Structure 1
Amino acid sequence: MSETDAEVPEGAGVTTGSLARRLGVSPTTLRSWDRRYGLGPAARTEGRHRRWTQDDVAMVLEMCRLTAAGIPPAEAARAAKALTEGTHALGAVDSLAGAAAEADAPPDRHASRSGSGLPLGSARQDCKGLARAAVRLDALAVQEQLTAAIGRHGLVVTWEEILAPALQAVGRKWQSAGERYVEVEHLLSWHISATLRHVYVCASAGQETSRTVPVILACLPGEQHTLPLEALNAALAQRGTATLMLGGAVPGDALLAAVERVGPGAVVLWSQSARTANLALVQQVAATRWGIRGARTRSRVLLTGPGWGRSVRPGLLRPRGLHEALVMLDTLRSRDFQEG
């Protein structure tokens, strides 16, 4: 029998599932903390269901705060229990928090109060919960929250308001903290990529795309940031648009050859930094003609990513985000259909 808030009498506390969603952790993590460190609810209702009171919640919140700050779980658990049990060991909590703060020096003036230690500012709660789970390296919670967010908000909103801000915050954090947060970025990126590919596979299964002019998606030579293109690839699949995802660091000759062979309606090119924003190659792609003799045509080129700056290049499209890219591609697709 599942635990739901509807089963809880008023004032009896919250369920494990409800608390996990609030804190951005996996229910399995809460049960593990209870089993290993005794950080469980003080009371249980009939049927031995866990019901977390306000004091229980405060204890687990402190555990989350300390582990997110880099305190080892066993030490964080002792401090969290001392805080809520009133054993006058608050000095231990303060010293642990102070040590974590010193380890993060210099302080980040953009840091949020999300409990993740990441500069998230006024990001939505789903984003902060995902960040907390990633900082704790709680892979199960990260995956659960990714799946739940897409199911609740849809892919586009999830990417633009939850995933992209979390990735950007992690990137800024490890750049300012040396190598300390690289593992967090790798964990989060891997799970986001796996989730986006799952969405793509599910959406494209059984679709008749062999006769549809595809959209080519590629990163410029030397560019390895593929996640934004993976999000676009999955979103296009949900719309029934055929794609050819070439991935990261595509050599220039290979990109030009693919355009000539496939004859795409559009080519989406991603550049994360000015270093990889190869405008000369882009102009070659835009000038490449394909099709039968007497009716040769060109692909429309979309420049995506911050590497291109804010300027608009003549003859090239410059969407500012996932939603805008989808609108542009839908418009091009509709125009091609009408002309065809």
Structure 2
Amino acid sequence: MGTAGREALSDETAVAGLTTGAVARRLGVSPTTLRSWDRRYGLGPALRSQGRHRRWSPRDVAMVEEMCRLTAAGAPPAEAARVARLTHGGARPSTPSAGPPARQPAPPVAAGPPVAAGPARRGGAGGGLPLGDVRQECRGLARAAVRLDAPELESRLLDAVGQHGLTVAWEEVMVPTLRAVGRKWESSGDRYVEVEHLLSWQVSTALRRAPLVLPPRPAVPPGAEPVVLACAPGEQHSLPLEALDAALGELGVPTRMLGAAVPVEALLACVRRTGPVAVVLWAQTRSTASPPLARHVAGLQWGPAGARRRPAVLPVGPGWERRSAGGFPRCAGLRDAVETLSGLYGADGAGRRPPSRG
């Protein structure tokens, strides 16, 4: 072999540096799965190092990433492999292999043919996460989360919102995947913390971007009183409250989102300044749920004498037990909270307030 040929081979070998284990960790699949795809569909490393070790080039990795994406979307494995080869494959060197040679793909009819995902199916775990009986979208979302694939997470989350609406996407796609990541983190020591953080951030981002993919809805008249959304003092878990904010926005209900760990004085000042039709107090744990605060907010009044107004108060979240919620209404979930709050607006868009006690 000439000098130029040896240099070219050396350059290509240097690029093909990832081991099968490293690729498996990156994609969130097992090394056995990668070897199976290599034997069955020819989706394996193009080069082998001395000693027959498998080394994956960037093109090889891109090919199996496409395979993961398509199968997670519901495509049959054989069809997903065909498209992955057509999209990212190329001429592979004729090196001996332990398995049978892969069939050559048929010439493409069009460049990069898309594979349409079938109807939502119930599926098992994705990326090693204990999902159970959930929508098929959860499986693809979990695989992307384990791979720390932020662009894929963003795309899948917005697709779910656009296809199913905010409430269904939250209750049947986002929440099951978040819970699976939480269970995996709790059972794996310090592992998967980065997966939970990335997934939570991407869910939060998708909730804020929901108006971009949802059809416009008629809003209540301008100037209508808003709904104030606040986490109880000391409560840091704001993601469910963000989902409620997005779901109300889908219906055109005006909101004022204060976010996590709202100080008492800040909450009271916001209520006095905005005159809301309702105040939502979110508490994830019993330690942050404060019945005295809920009663105090419910007792706030404003307006001229004889026409005093006060807000409806809705304690939401698992931290509010039936006893701690007192006589306030309780909501079983996002759907129930949205119906309760949107029902406070009459046909003319005006807020229906509880009668003043004084």
TM-score (norm 2): 0.64
Give the letter for the 2:169 counterpart: T
- Post-superposition Cα deviations, 1:150-209, rounded to whole Å, max 9, x if no partner, equal 111111100011111111221222122222111111111111111111125787899676
Amino acid of the structure 1 residue aligned with 2:295: Q
What is the CA-CA distance between 1:325 and the residue it aligns to? 0.5
Match of 1:172 among 176, 180, 183: 183
Q: What are the superposed Cα offsets for residues 247-267 of structure 1, whole Å, 9 maximum, x if unpaired?
A: 111001111111111111011
Aligned counterpart, 1:198: 209
Which sections of structure 1, spanning at least 5 residues, go unmatched?
Answer: 1-15, 53-111
The answer as to whether partners of 2:227 and 2:276 remain within 8 angstroms in 1 is: yes
The structure richer in helix per residue is 1
Query: Quick one: which of 207, 223, 235 aligns to 1:211?
Result: 223
The correspondence of residues 135-174 of structure 1 with structure 2, limited to 5 A, is 135-174=146-185
- Quote the offset at 1:242 in angstroms: 0.7
**2:312 matches 1:250:** no
Q: Does 1:234 align with 2:246?
A: yes
* Residue-by-residue CA offset, 1:32-69 (whole Å, 9 max, x unaligned): 99569x8x9951423575689xxxxxxxxxxxxxxxxx
Q: CA 1:197/1:126 → structure 2, altered by over 3 Å: closer, same or farther?
A: same
Paired with 1:199 and 1:319, the residues of 2 have a C-alpha distance of: 23
- What is the distance in 1 between the residues matched to 2:188 and 2:351? 53
Partner of 1:103: none
Q: 2:194 is matched with which residue?
A: 183
TM superposition shift of 1:327: 0.8
Report if the CA contact (8 A) 2:229-2:279 is conserved. Answer: yes
Which residue of structure 1 lines up, in the alignment, with residue 69 of structure 2?
20
Structure 2 gaps, min length 5: 1-64, 75-79, 93-101, 115-122, 354-358
CA 290–322 in structure 1, closer or farther in 2 if over 3 Å, else same = same
- For 2:218 and 2:341, the matched residues in 1 are separated by 22
1:308 alignment partner, SS class: coil
2:166 alignment partner AA = L
Inter-CA distance 127–339: structure 2 relative to 1 (3 Å threshold): closer
* Aligned counterpart in structure 2 of residue 262 of structure 1, from 274, 280, 290: 274
Distance 1:299 1:168 in 2: 33
Correspondence for 2:299 = 287
Equivalent residues in 2 for 1:90-109 (5 A)? none
Please tell me whether the aligned partners of residues 44 and 51 of structure 1 are also in contact (alpha carbons under 8 angstroms). no
Residue 21 of structure 1 deviates from its aligned partner by 4.3
Match for 1:333: what amino acid? Y
TM-aligned CA distance change 1:174 to 1:296, over 3 Å:
same
Q: Distance in 2 between matches of 1:248 and 1:214?
A: 19
Instruction: Give the residue type in structure 2 aligned to 1:337.
Output: A
Q: What is the CA distance between 1:333 and its match in structure 2?
A: 1.6
Letter of the 2:301 partner, please give it. Answer: R
Query: Secondary structure at 1:217's aligned position in 2?
Result: strand
Superposed CA deviations along residues 65-101 of structure 1, whole A, max 9, x for unmatched, are xxxxxxxxxxxxxxxxxxxxxxxxxxxxxxxxxxxxx
Distance 2:130 2:330 in 1: 28
Q: How does 1:1-150 map to 2 (within 5 A)?
A: 20-24=69-73, 34=88, 42-47=104-109, 49=111, 113-150=124-161
RMSD of the TM alignment (CA)? 3.6
Find the counterpart in structure 2 of residue 332 from structure 1.
344
TM-aligned CA deviation for residue 300 of structure 1: 0.9
Structure 1, residues 204-231: CA drift from partner, whole Å, max 9, x if none? 8996764110000011111121211111
State the secondary structure of the residue aligned to 1:267. Answer: strand
* One-letter amino acid matched to 1:292: P
The alignment partner of 2:270 has SS state of: helix
Which residue of structure 2 aligns with residue 3 of structure 1? none
Partners of 2:212 and 2:334 lie apart in 1 by 19
Larger-gyration structure (1/2)? 2
SS in 1 for 2:184: helix
Which segment drifts farther, 124-133 or 211-220? Answer: 124-133
Structure-2 separation of matches of 1:201 and 1:214 = 22
Cα separation, 2, equivalents of 1:249 and 1:243 = 18
Taking structure 1 as reference, are residues 268 and 131 closer, same or farther at Cα in structure 2, changes over 3 Å only? Answer: same
The one-letter code of the counterpart of 2:142 is A
